[in-house]
Structure 1
């Protein structure tokens, strides 16, 4: 398992103007950043860093005059910090609904709200041999099987869902394409990033050719994205039973099975700003166009509440 250093928070700086964010969603509100104004702490999956910093956080501030202080880690790392009592955010956003519910509800929170989905695919550098072959729409499993060691990036499967979904992806592809040993070979040859938010930095720096990524992460960095079949992109509810046939056991002994990529938010029972935290979760459930503009997907089935819901958050 990673050390406490591996779990160090990567706080991203705000990069958007609040007034512009207000225009995006058509909401009026003060964009002042006066000292002492209301604020909430949001600890969220690393794949949402750009979405929260550039769009969602500023829009919520513009609408409510409540500042969002975001910190970003892998969902597994977030949950471990909370379970150990090492951090006390107001709002927690995870990228695996089952994981959040199993470990936070009801011990640390009373409810959660699923509000957006995503899909797994391959972000790539088109200037590399691997990237040019993917751009030519060659079968991805053949391209990656021939890639040099270290040319493929994955997130740490012991720290976040994107990491273990890469493992699930390799396992499901091994079966579907009858490639014996494909899962293990891919894991041996992949380069592992401990911080989900840093995964695609290696492509931009020229250190690797491709990475197993969420679609919104590739869009955030204007990188080409190779879309995978629905049988193993973890985005189609019709294939939930298929996804669930893949599994991975983390270094601390927790076995996680394949599942839909779905983001869920909750307010901790010990939050210092529970009311503003609830307002933020409610905001997530009422801004589908804002979420979609950040590269996420909001199907008709969402938002979907679970647990003992405060009245303010009822969709």
Structure 2
């Protein structure tokens, strides 16, 4: 009987050791390739970190993200022009997806977040005190010969062409030639009435004007005092603890009730030849048809569109659509998380 007991104890010990070895076994590694707008860098960094923890705990996977931030137009053109592989594409202007990715590269997309354009600065910026005290003078302050300001490249980044739209809408709102003073006199960007033309190669004629590939490239310049002001999304200004001036709803591209008013202004981009009409700012996301890791990418999209994503965006000062709105051949995996509309928007 003693020998039987020893055998049983041995079997139990072996089972415990086996379980321990299994739980400590290296997890399978998986990759997700994400191309996203620069303005999504902060919330996506947190989103990817939390999804990695979720996947390790619930899916038994160690997820590695290949994350590339850029201007949204550039992000899309990586796929369409350069043939680069990606799983998820998230852009600051959702219309880029139906215009440039549907139907060849994807057959659905989701509208998920909103934003507005502000003018950001720090206490190092020239006339910062006056800007805070009299924000309605923003265009007068930017026009001063000793003040520098910037925006992102309209050919690569929606924040850039939205900055142009804001300044052209300001012409209408204030009844003054603000676009001519700030843009046309200092660059080779031109306008005719409310139509803006952006050359394929944007040239700056005045050193006070700074243009970079994406809006977040300008953040460090303002923080260091090298640049006084820049046009940026409110969420990015909040994330970086920058001071900022909010603009009237008639020009800030935030107010959905003013969509028709915004639509008076449009931009033609030299990089794509496409004409873009001003509209309220809405972000879009999709998983590509030929996504190398499509099944896992769909899990990540579910995470983004669910309660976790909503919380993360709120923590990072960006408004989230409730619920997100989906178009096209919406995958079954996300149907419970979105409102599906049949008419494609572009």
**TM-score interval, smaller chain:** 0.7 to 0.9
Contact map agreement 1:230 1:236 (CA 8 A) in 2: yes
| Structure 1 residue 298 corresponds to structure 2 residue 320 | yes
- Stretches of 4+ moved more than 3 A in 1? none
Tell me what 1:43 maps to: 35
Aligned counterpart, 1:146:
144
* Structure 2 residue 330 is the aligned partner of structure 1 residue 309: yes
**1:90-148 deviation per Cα after TM superposition (whole angstroms, max 9, x unaligned):** 00001111122111111100111111111110111223333222211331222223353
How far does the alpha carbon of each residue in 1:27-68 deviate from its partner, in whole angstroms, 9 at most, with x for none? xxxxx9x78511201000011112211x11111111123333
CA distance in 1, matches of 2:295, 2:81: 24
Q: What's the secondary structure of 1:109's corresponding residue?
A: coil
Cα RMSD after superposing both structures: 1.8
2:76 alignment partner, SS class = helix
Partner SS, residue 95 of structure 2 = helix
The answer as to whether partners of 1:45 and 1:75 remain within 8 angstroms in 2 is yes
In structure 1, the residue matched to 2:126 is 129
Aligned to 1:16: none
TM-score, with length taken from structure 2: 0.76
Asked if 1:88 corresponds to 2:94, the answer is: no
Q: 2 CA distance for matches of 1:201 and 1:296?
A: 20
When residues 186 and 36 of structure 1 are mapped into structure 2, their CA distance, relative to the original with a 3 A threshold, is farther
Aligned residue number for residue 272 of structure 1: 292
Q: Which residue of 1 aligns with 2:116?
A: 119
Of residues 51, 59, 83, the one that matches 2:50 is 59
Q: Which moved more, 1:78-87 or 1:95-104?
A: 78-87
- Whether contact under 8 Å (1:153, 1:192) holds in the other structure is yes
- Does the CA contact (< 8 Å) of 1:131 and 1:210 recur in 2? no
CA distance in 2, matches of 1:275, 1:197: 31
The aligned counterpart of 1:98 is 95
Q: Deviations over 1:144-174 (max 9, x none)?
A: 233536x111000111100000000000001
The normalised TM-score by structure 1 is 0.84
CA contact 2:116–2:252 (8 Å) conserved in 1: yes
Distance in 2, Cα, partners of 1:42 & 1:239: 32
Segments of structure 1 that go 5 or more residues without pairing to the other structure are 1-31
Structure in which a larger fraction of residues adopt strand: 2
State the SS of the aligned residue for 1:62: helix
